[in-house]
Protein backbone atom coordinates (compact mmCIF):
# COMPACT_ATOMS: atom_id res chain seq x y z
CA UNK A 1 0.00 0.00 0.00
CA UNK A 2 1.48 3.22 -1.14
CA UNK A 3 1.19 6.38 0.85
CA UNK A 4 0.80 9.68 -0.96
CA UNK A 5 2.31 12.77 0.56
CA UNK A 6 -0.31 15.36 1.32
CA UNK A 7 0.58 18.88 0.35
CA UNK A 8 -1.00 21.68 2.24
CA UNK A 9 -3.12 23.98 0.13
CA UNK A 10 -1.89 27.56 0.07
CA UNK A 11 -4.08 29.87 2.11
CA UNK A 12 -4.96 32.98 0.13
CA UNK A 13 -3.99 36.18 1.82
CA UNK A 14 -6.95 38.39 2.65
CA UNK A 15 -6.93 41.75 0.93
CA UNK A 16 -9.71 43.10 3.14
CA UNK A 17 -8.68 45.75 5.57
CA UNK A 18 -9.65 45.55 9.20
CA UNK A 19 -12.80 47.59 9.99
CA UNK A 20 -11.00 49.93 12.35
CA UNK A 21 -8.31 50.53 9.71
CA UNK A 22 -10.98 51.42 7.16
CA UNK A 23 -12.70 53.73 9.65
CA UNK A 24 -9.46 55.54 10.34
CA UNK A 25 -8.73 55.93 6.63
CA UNK A 26 -12.19 57.40 6.03
CA UNK A 27 -11.77 59.82 8.92
CA UNK A 28 -8.32 60.78 7.67
CA UNK A 29 -9.71 61.47 4.21
CA UNK A 30 -12.54 63.56 5.64
CA UNK A 31 -10.15 65.49 7.82
CA UNK A 32 -8.05 66.23 4.74
CA UNK A 33 -11.09 67.62 2.91
CA UNK A 34 -12.38 69.80 5.75
CA UNK A 35 -10.62 72.92 6.95
CA UNK A 36 -12.41 74.20 10.04
CA UNK A 37 -10.27 77.33 10.06
CA UNK A 38 -11.08 78.32 6.47
CA UNK A 39 -12.56 81.86 6.57
CA UNK A 40 -15.67 81.08 4.51
CA UNK A 41 -16.49 78.12 6.74
CA UNK A 42 -16.12 80.32 9.83
CA UNK A 43 -18.37 83.01 8.30
CA UNK A 44 -21.05 80.38 7.64
CA UNK A 45 -20.88 79.10 11.23
CA UNK A 46 -21.19 82.66 12.58
CA UNK A 47 -24.16 83.37 10.29
CA UNK A 48 -25.90 80.17 11.41
CA UNK A 49 -25.47 80.86 15.11
CA UNK A 50 -26.20 84.58 14.86
CA UNK A 51 -29.63 84.34 13.25
CA UNK A 52 -31.65 82.62 16.01
CA UNK A 53 -29.66 84.49 18.65
CA UNK A 54 -30.56 87.80 17.01
CA UNK A 55 -34.27 87.23 16.58
CA UNK A 56 -34.69 85.84 20.09
CA UNK A 57 -32.87 88.78 21.68
CA UNK A 58 -34.78 91.36 19.62
CA UNK A 59 -38.16 89.68 20.16
CA UNK A 60 -37.68 89.43 23.93
CA UNK A 61 -36.59 93.07 24.05
CA UNK A 62 -39.73 94.00 22.10
CA UNK A 63 -41.92 91.98 24.45
CA UNK A 64 -40.41 93.72 27.46
CA UNK A 65 -40.25 97.31 26.15
CA UNK A 66 -42.49 97.52 23.05
CA UNK A 67 -39.64 99.49 21.51
CA UNK A 68 -40.20 98.31 17.93
CA UNK A 69 -43.94 98.84 18.22
CA UNK A 70 -43.38 102.48 19.19
CA UNK A 71 -40.73 102.91 16.50
CA UNK A 72 -42.92 101.60 13.66
CA UNK A 73 -46.21 102.94 14.98
CA UNK A 74 -47.91 99.62 15.68
CA UNK A 75 -47.29 95.93 16.40
CA UNK A 76 -48.09 94.68 12.89
CA UNK A 77 -45.72 97.09 11.14
CA UNK A 78 -43.03 96.24 13.69
CA UNK A 79 -43.52 92.49 13.29
CA UNK A 80 -43.49 92.72 9.48
CA UNK A 81 -40.30 94.78 9.61
CA UNK A 82 -38.59 92.19 11.79
CA UNK A 83 -39.85 89.48 9.43
CA UNK A 84 -38.17 91.17 6.47
CA UNK A 85 -34.91 91.48 8.40
CA UNK A 86 -35.04 87.82 9.46
CA UNK A 87 -35.65 86.75 5.86
CA UNK A 88 -32.66 88.79 4.68
CA UNK A 89 -30.48 87.24 7.37
CA UNK A 90 -31.65 83.77 6.33
CA UNK A 91 -30.83 84.53 2.70
CA UNK A 92 -27.32 85.55 3.74
CA UNK A 93 -26.99 82.41 5.88
CA UNK A 94 -27.92 80.21 2.92
CA UNK A 95 -25.49 82.13 0.71
CA UNK A 96 -22.65 81.74 3.21
CA UNK A 97 -23.29 78.00 3.52
CA UNK A 98 -23.24 77.62 -0.26
CA UNK A 99 -20.00 79.60 -0.53
CA UNK A 100 -18.39 77.49 2.21
CA UNK A 101 -19.37 74.27 0.44
CA UNK A 102 -17.94 75.47 -2.86
CA UNK A 103 -14.70 76.43 -1.12
CA UNK A 104 -14.12 72.80 -0.10
CA UNK A 105 -13.72 69.74 -2.35
CA UNK A 106 -16.47 67.22 -2.97
CA UNK A 107 -16.26 63.82 -1.25
CA UNK A 108 -16.22 60.90 -3.66
CA UNK A 109 -18.41 58.49 -1.57
CA UNK A 110 -21.20 61.09 -1.66
CA UNK A 111 -20.71 61.96 -5.32
CA UNK A 112 -23.19 59.57 -6.93
CA UNK A 113 -26.72 59.53 -8.29
CA UNK A 114 -28.26 57.76 -5.27
CA UNK A 115 -26.98 60.32 -2.78
CA UNK A 116 -27.97 63.15 -5.12
CA UNK A 117 -31.52 61.77 -5.35
CA UNK A 118 -31.71 61.40 -1.57
CA UNK A 119 -30.61 65.02 -1.20
CA UNK A 120 -33.23 66.18 -3.69
CA UNK A 121 -35.91 64.23 -1.81
CA UNK A 122 -34.83 65.80 1.48
CA UNK A 123 -35.01 69.28 -0.03
CA UNK A 124 -38.49 68.58 -1.38
CA UNK A 125 -39.68 67.23 1.98
CA UNK A 126 -38.10 70.12 3.87
CA UNK A 127 -39.73 72.64 1.55
CA UNK A 128 -43.13 71.03 2.15
CA UNK A 129 -42.69 71.43 5.91
CA UNK A 130 -41.45 75.02 5.65
CA UNK A 131 -44.14 76.21 3.21
CA UNK A 132 -47.01 74.42 4.94
CA UNK A 133 -45.87 75.78 8.32
CA UNK A 134 -45.88 79.30 6.95
CA UNK A 135 -49.33 78.84 5.43
CA UNK A 136 -50.69 77.51 8.72
CA UNK A 137 -49.14 80.24 10.89
CA UNK A 138 -49.18 83.27 8.63
CA UNK A 139 -46.61 86.06 8.76
CA UNK A 140 -47.15 87.07 12.37
CA UNK A 141 -47.37 83.48 13.60
CA UNK A 142 -44.15 82.60 11.82
CA UNK A 143 -42.14 85.68 12.73
CA UNK A 144 -42.65 85.96 16.48
CA UNK A 145 -45.89 87.94 16.44
CA UNK A 146 -46.61 86.59 19.94
CA UNK A 147 -43.79 88.77 21.28
CA UNK A 148 -45.47 91.82 19.73
CA UNK A 149 -48.77 91.07 21.43
CA UNK A 150 -50.28 89.55 18.27
CA UNK A 151 -51.56 86.31 19.74
CA UNK A 152 -53.25 83.46 17.91
CA UNK A 153 -56.75 82.46 18.98
CA UNK A 154 -55.75 78.83 19.40
CA UNK A 155 -52.80 76.52 18.91
CA UNK A 156 -52.27 75.27 15.38
CA UNK A 157 -52.67 71.49 15.35
CA UNK A 158 -53.13 70.69 11.65
CA UNK A 159 -50.47 69.64 9.15
CA UNK A 160 -47.52 69.77 9.53
CA UNK A 161 -47.82 70.37 13.28
CA UNK A 162 -49.63 67.07 13.69
CA UNK A 163 -46.55 65.34 12.28
CA UNK A 164 -43.81 66.95 14.39
CA UNK A 165 -43.06 69.85 16.68
CA UNK A 166 -41.36 72.89 15.12
CA UNK A 167 -41.72 71.66 11.51
CA UNK A 168 -40.40 74.91 10.06
CA UNK A 169 -37.09 74.57 11.88
CA UNK A 170 -36.63 70.90 11.02
CA UNK A 171 -37.84 71.44 7.47
CA UNK A 172 -35.19 74.11 7.05
CA UNK A 173 -32.58 71.73 8.48
CA UNK A 174 -33.67 69.05 5.99
CA UNK A 175 -33.22 71.58 3.18
CA UNK A 176 -29.63 72.27 4.18
CA UNK A 177 -28.84 68.58 4.55
CA UNK A 178 -30.35 67.91 1.13
CA UNK A 179 -28.28 70.71 -0.37
CA UNK A 180 -25.13 69.26 1.21
CA UNK A 181 -25.83 65.77 -0.17
CA UNK A 182 -26.62 67.09 -3.65
CA UNK A 183 -23.25 68.85 -3.62
CA UNK A 184 -21.42 65.82 -2.13
CA UNK A 185 -20.16 68.19 0.53
CA UNK A 186 -18.96 66.92 3.92
CA UNK A 187 -18.57 70.56 4.96
CA UNK A 188 -22.25 71.06 4.13
CA UNK A 189 -23.16 68.12 6.37
CA UNK A 190 -21.17 69.65 9.25
CA UNK A 191 -22.81 73.04 8.72
CA UNK A 192 -26.22 71.34 8.68
CA UNK A 193 -25.41 69.86 12.08
CA UNK A 194 -24.60 73.38 13.30
CA UNK A 195 -27.97 74.55 11.93
CA UNK A 196 -29.79 71.75 13.75
CA UNK A 197 -27.95 72.46 16.99
CA UNK A 198 -28.67 76.19 16.79
CA UNK A 199 -32.37 75.47 16.23
CA UNK A 200 -32.36 73.04 19.16
CA UNK A 201 -31.01 75.77 21.44
CA UNK A 202 -33.50 78.31 20.03
CA UNK A 203 -36.41 75.94 20.69
CA UNK A 204 -35.27 75.46 24.28
CA UNK A 205 -35.53 79.24 24.81
CA UNK A 206 -38.52 80.03 22.61
CA UNK A 207 -40.85 77.24 23.71
CA UNK A 208 -41.17 78.04 27.42
CA UNK A 209 -41.21 81.80 26.79
CA UNK A 210 -44.02 81.53 24.24
CA UNK A 211 -46.01 79.24 26.54
CA UNK A 212 -45.66 81.82 29.31
CA UNK A 213 -47.04 84.54 27.02
CA UNK A 214 -50.17 82.50 26.35
CA UNK A 215 -50.48 81.47 30.01
CA UNK A 216 -50.53 85.15 30.98
CA UNK A 217 -53.18 85.80 28.33
CA UNK A 218 -55.33 82.99 29.76
CA UNK A 219 -55.00 84.39 33.27
CA UNK A 220 -56.05 87.86 32.11
CA UNK A 221 -59.10 86.39 30.37
CA UNK A 222 -60.13 84.54 33.53
CA UNK A 223 -60.02 87.73 35.59
CA UNK A 224 -62.23 89.66 33.19
**How far is Cα 68 from Cα 100, in angstroms, rounded to an integer?**
34
CB 50 within 8 A of CB 63: no
Residues 6+ apart with CB under 8 A from 45: 191, 194
Exposed, middle or buried by CB within 10 Å (0-12, 13-18, 19+), for 149? middle
178 is in an annotated binding site: no
62 is in an annotated binding site: no
206 is in an annotated binding site: yes
125 is in an annotated binding site: yes
**How far is Cα 90 from Cα 180, in angstroms, rounded to an integer?**
17
124 is in an annotated binding site: yes
CB 79 within 8 A of CB 143: yes
Annotated binding site: 124-126, 206-207
Annotated binding site for S-adenosyl-L-methionine: 124-126, 206-207
Amino acid sequence: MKCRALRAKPVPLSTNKEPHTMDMSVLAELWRLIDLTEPRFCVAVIAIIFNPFFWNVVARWEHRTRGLTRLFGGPYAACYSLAVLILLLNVYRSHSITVAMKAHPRWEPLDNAHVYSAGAALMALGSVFVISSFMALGVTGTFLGDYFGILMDQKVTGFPFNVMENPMYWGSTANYLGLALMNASPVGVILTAVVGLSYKVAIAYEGPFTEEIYRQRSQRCKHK
